[in-house]
Amino acid sequence: MHSALSFPLLRSLGLALAVAAAPLAALADGVTDIVARKTLRVGVADFAPWTFVNLQGKPEGFEIDLGRQLAHDLGATAEFKLAPIADLFAALERGEIDLIAAGLAITPARALRVEFSTPYFESGTTLVTNLRLAPKARHPEDLNQTGTTVGTVAGTFSAGLAAELFDVAKLATFPDREAAEAALLEGRVHALLTSLPDARILAKRHPDKAGLPLPVPLVRSVAGLAVKRGNQGLLNYLNAWIASRLADNFIPNLNAYWFDGYEWTRRMKQPAN
């Protein structure tokens, strides 16, 4: 008795199953490759307290501790690539790093380039002002004036908001946090539009030069870990890991240390001014 399925049809079905299975194997590669090489390659950006370079020239911060624990749970060692955010996106797309952990705000525009994990941190953007140049500034409209300069760091969530909030004031974009903070302290900009944690730290460390006019963020944001598009296997693992580490208080305790206290700021380099 002949099968109801002809040989050509069986061959077609076999090819279809093979094509369907290929993505499933590829999805696992992100995790299996990390486990096989025993190294988790994490992209980080210099934005305290997420990541900063300490007085010994080594990276420290919330994302460093997070990355090391994540690597440990994968049976691997964390290897960190410190670079501007734009360079991290490019490195991720080239396959040079496995993920970005940089307090990266989840936005629709960024989601066109990367896959985001579920949120693991909530933050926002605010202003930190130069007290000599803008002693009475309290809101964005106070600074959105001719002759006023507002600084941001390239590639950040804040930089994306700057043009919307300041259509009259001059905008100055800096390559990194250190350059932006030095510009504020030296009086080359009237204010910085930056993350709320960064603004709080700058005002705390330089109370005679930097002011924090707003106690809450102008715009709230949530951060996720970013992986290369299509890397669903690693994304699934990260989502499970975040859920577990939120439940066991590892991430909340890490938040409390890095974002509620300032003891660690003594290990930061002072901005040049």
Q: What is the pLDDT of residue 34?
A: 96
Q: What is the pLDDT of residue 272?
A: 52
Domain that holds residue 256: 14-120+224-267
Which runs of E-coded beta strand occur in the chain? Answer: 39-44, 52-53, 59-60, 77-82, 99-100, 114-116, 121-130, 149-153, 170-174, 191-195, 210-211, 219-223, 226-228
Residues 95 and 26: their CA atoms lie apart, in Å, by 14
Q: Are residues 170 and 253 in the same domain?
A: no
Q: Are residues 141 and 211 in the same domain?
A: yes
**169-196 pLDDT per residue, tens:** 999 999 988 899 999 999 999 999 999 9
Q: Are residues 192 and 96 in the same domain?
A: no
Domain containing residue 145: CATH number:
3.40.190.10
Q: Are residues 112 and 189 in the same domain?
A: no
Q: Is the pLDDT of residue 115 over 60?
A: yes
Instruction: Say which residue the tokens 């760091």 belong to.
Output: 153
Domain count for the chain, please give it.
Answer: 2
Q: Are residues 163 and 230 in the same domain?
A: no
Q: Are residues 152 and 112 in the same domain?
A: no
Q: Are residues 173 and 77 in the same domain?
A: no
Q: Are residues 101 and 236 in the same domain?
A: yes
Indicate the residue type of 110.
R
Please give the residue that has the higher pLDDT: either 124 or 7.
124
For the beta carbon of residue 26, count every other beta carbon within 10 angstroms. Answer: 13
The answer as to whether 32 is a domain residue is yes
Q: Which helix (H) or strand (E) holds 62?
A: helix 62-73
The answer as to whether 77 is a domain residue is yes
**215-232 pLDDT per residue, tens:** 788 999 999 999 999 999
Q: What is the pLDDT of residue 227?
A: 98
The answer as to whether 242 is a domain residue is yes
The answer as to whether 8 is a domain residue is no
**155-165 pLDDT per residue, tens:** 899 998 999 99
The answer as to whether 6 is a domain residue is no
Residues 138 and 37: their CA atoms lie apart, in Å, by 51
**61-98 pLDDT per residue, tens:** 999 999 999 999 999 999 999 999 999 999 999 999 99
Residues 123 and 199: their CA atoms lie apart, in Å, by 12
Q: Are residues 23 and 157 in the same domain?
A: no
Burial label for 78, CB within 10 Å (0-12, 13-18, 19+), is buried
The answer as to whether 168 is a domain residue is yes
